[in-house]
Amino acid sequence: MQPVLRLTAARGRPLYALVLAVVGVMLMAYTVVVSTEANAAVTLLSQGKPVTASSVENAGTPATAAVDGNTGTRWSSAAADPQWIQVDLGDTATLSQVILRWEAAYATAFQIQTSANGTSWTSIYSTTTSTGGVQTLNVTGSGRYVRMYGTARATGYGYSLWEFQVYGEIGGGTGCGTANVAQGKPATASSVENAGTPASNAVDGNTGTRWSSAFADPQWLQIDLGATTAICQVVLTWEGAYATAYQIQVSSNASTWTSVWSTTTGAGGTVTINAAASARYVRIYMTTRATGWGYSLWEVAVRAGGTPTSPTPSPSPSTSPGGPIQGGGSLGPNVKVFDPSMSGATIQSQVDAVFNEMESNQFGTGRYVLAFKPGTYSGFNAQIGFYTSILGLGQNPTDVRINGDVTVDAGWFQGNATQNFWRSAENLSINPSAGFTRWAVSQAAPFRRMDISGDLNLAPNGYGWASGGYIADSRVSGAVGPYSQQQWYTRDSQIGSWVNGVWNMVFSGVVGAPATGFPNPVYTTLNNTPLSREKPYLYLDSGGNYRVFVPSLRTNARGISWANGATPGTSLPLTSFYVAKPGDTAARINAALAQGLHLLFTPGIYHIDGTINVNRADTVVLGLGYATIIPDNGVAAMRVADVDGVKIAGVLFDAGTVNSPVLLELGPSNSSASHAANPTSISDVFFRIGGAHPGKATTSLLVNSDNVIIDHIWAWRGDHGAGIGWTVNTADQGVIVNGDNVLATGLFVEHYQKYNVVWNGQGGRTIFFQNELPYDPPNQAAYMNGATRGYAAYKVADSVTSHEAWGLGVYCYFNVDPTIHAARGIETPNNPNVKFHSISTVSLGGNGVIDNVINTTGGPAQGTATVPSTVTNYP
């Protein structure tokens, strides 16, 4: 067997750049000595101070690394212009010198800017001819905030600084008074934990009472001082549930806010903050919690005096580091909202208009959501086409009742459902008019949190071919009939019965599922799902406000999560999300994420010229209506830090025309933290290489973090559409798992040019795998893995000593050269703790041969009869 190389997130610079970086570090050491001797009269002010940046390349290059005094650590940004890094000196300073210690990725054009309030900036140095290295800049100016604002890069990477050092002297005393001008003033908050912890407790002068918030991010507490006041200091007395990241903001009208101080390294206790401003309203805006509780403050004191700096209000949210980007907002024109007062005929007309556009629009740009407010509806049939999601806006499926139909059929493709991709149904209760609901889909078409009173038919009218599919957290009172479906995975659900199977039917945690019988009948059944977390979803609360519900983690799950009432979990207000619209840049999205907002993509196409960086634990990223992210210029589309509990759902990553190294990366290459108690999860996340355009990406999904849950993905290198060809839509691997104890439930990966799945981590588990090998190798010579004919679909690295998988199907359809062979469907080390159950290989119509099922076990899949070759257990 061939050794498996671990794909990492390394930037892959040539060796000469690494040598230059080492030489640069040596030169820095020399420069430090010279600078210290030449400037003995001034003080290094920036080291260890709060620092923020417009973006970071990954979790290993944070902004804090540029002010830590360590010339072996660095900040680096996304590969886009402009970018900035700013340091808060804590008080106004007279500046004399700035030293920039560049890594090889330096700026050719940049400015040094200062600000009194972090909003209005003044340039005190600028250049368009920088050559990098160590730059000692003698400057004249003053301010509390200092930033490097880069506008042109010397390389294709971002900006990277080993150290950002600011020298000068802090000004004289503050002249700050001692009276607490906040005591007894009106206080309001984003939320309260309970009636015993109101906002007023934080300004009552009693250190034995406290305000505490709900258990979610962000939260705020604001105080009305009654009149414009010259503020000089804010003192926070935290209870044990403190903020690690927060801002002090001021406003003249309680509407437009300006940040005058911020930190991402809060440590609780009593914090005295020098913040000079003139304002009536003061707000503590908290974005990251130190504990699993909310935020809690015994007291907030505001002191007046000194010489305030009147803040300049920020314009409407921008990517500049001024006031915070506001959460919430419109969901856009492509979220069609229906309410129970609407007639069936009115609803039919509107859903038909969407379906007529999207029925056969397989690679179009339309993206839609059909959203139904809580209540009862009747008299229509909602047919669901491409890139269309139908969903209920209740907290539970039974909150929206449709006495009518939700239907997917395949009339557009002459009764063949094998291309019914990219559509979904969620959170609805259906009482179908004919006693059954037809959901004839293939990949990337989840059926979640659905309550069907009657039967569920998964085949198209006429029982044409179909290649699905996925059901989760759903209840079907009658029979589920797959009929012509080749394979299907059902998780954590309840069904009346299951009618039949073709090649590979897998169940985990399903009440009413048939018993395991593989290979005849083709059922593989696990009594429970070892670990699951349902997808976050949009809903309306009792006040008519949009919120996102985040279901809790389930262990050894069986049956629906809403059997005994509401699904357990956490509710987040839409105001805690940055509501993205097509046209938003990666820089703007990153600024919102860095501020502590979650991220919601409204339906549409998002071209991004930089990587979206998700660095905060428990961040929710939710796409509506198959929101599609296309990385331009070869950037990675999204990277997630090695942190707890990130949830990504409902997003389609569509590779751009310039090759990206990876589309979605979970954790940097050196990830090692355990996330067993709060894993990152991805749900209904899809990847596409070609079809809409000639996309290219080396790897679609790279999992470096431990304990990740992969719940229903389809990674697809296109076999039809635009931009299709062996040397056109190039893609090596679909999924690489380097993290340990990763669980995949519903893994669909197809047509990649090398191993479709590579599993390097220990303790991995897969429940259901569906694969087609690439259709289009031009000949056997083009499809060789060294001396081995072809690549296995699913490769477990030789170093792995523990792994288990259930219900795997691998198919070949080498239609360009039907004489091609693949040596095996599954390739794995021979180890008693590396186990496979219920494996089948199939040659579709005799187009090619898979010689063995797993390693050298199992006979060939070949011949026009399209009969599976199977192995029940291995070893």
Structural element, H or E, at residue 836? strand 834-843
* Nearest Cα to Cα of residue 613 among 585, 654, 632, 634: 585
Cα 370 to Cα 34, 72, 334, 350, distances in angstroms: 66, 52, 8, 9
CA dist 853 and 868 (Å) reads: 10
* Nearest Cα to Cα of residue 481 among 493, 496, 503: 496
Give the type of residue at 368. Answer: Y
Report the first-to-last Cα separation within the chain, whole angstroms: 17
Catalytic residue among 193, 665, 772, 827: 772
775 CB-near residues (< 8 Å, 6+ apart): 719, 751, 813, 814, 815, 816
Structural element, H or E, at residue 249? strand 243-251
Cross-strand partners of 835: 804
Q: In this structure, are residues 243 and 290 in contact, taking their beta carbons and an 8 Å threshold?
A: yes
Let me know how many helices (H) and strands (E) the chain has, helices first: 3, 59
Work out whether the CA dihedral 70, 76, 81, 82 comes out positive or negative.
Answer: negative
**The tokens of 414 are what?**
């002459």
Q: DSSP states of 663-691 as a string?
A: EEEES-TT-----TTS--EEEEEEEEESB
Work out whether the CA dihedral 567, 570, 573, 578 comes out positive or negative.
Answer: negative
Q: In this structure, are residues 146 and 168 in contact, taking their beta carbons and an 8 Å threshold?
A: no
Q: In this structure, are residues 268 and 290 in contact, taking their beta carbons and an 8 Å threshold?
A: yes
Question: How many CB atoms are located within 10 Å of the residue 609 CB?
Answer: 16
Q: Report the greatest alpha carbon distance in the chain.
A: 90
CA dist 403 and 380 (Å) reads: 8
The 3-state DSSP class for residue 237 equals: strand
Instruction: Scan for tokens 């990666």, then name that residue.
Output: 586
Residue 352 φ/ψ, nearest 5 degrees: -65, -40
**Three-state secondary structure string covering 258-325:** EEEEEECCCCCCEEEEEEEEEEEEEEEEEEEECCCCCCEEEEEEEEEECCCCCCCCCCCCCCCCCCCC
- Catalytic, 772? Answer yes
Q: DSSP states of 211-227 as a string?
A: EE--SSS-EEEEEEEEE
Give the type of residue at 457. Answer: N
Q: In this structure, are residues 228 and 278 in contact, taking their beta carbons and an 8 Å threshold?
A: yes
Q: DSSP states of 72-129 as a string?
A: T--EE--SSS-EEEEEEEEEEEEEEEEEEEE-SS-EEEEEEEEESSSSS-EEEEEES-
* Beta-sheet strands, E only, within 641-789: 647-654, 660-666, 681-689, 697-703, 709-717, 733-737, 743-750, 757-759, 764-772, 784-785, 788-789
Instruction: Scan for tokens 């070609």, then name that residue.
Output: 690
Work out whether the CA dihedral 356, 361, 365, 367 comes out positive or negative.
Answer: positive
Residue numbers annotated as active site:
772
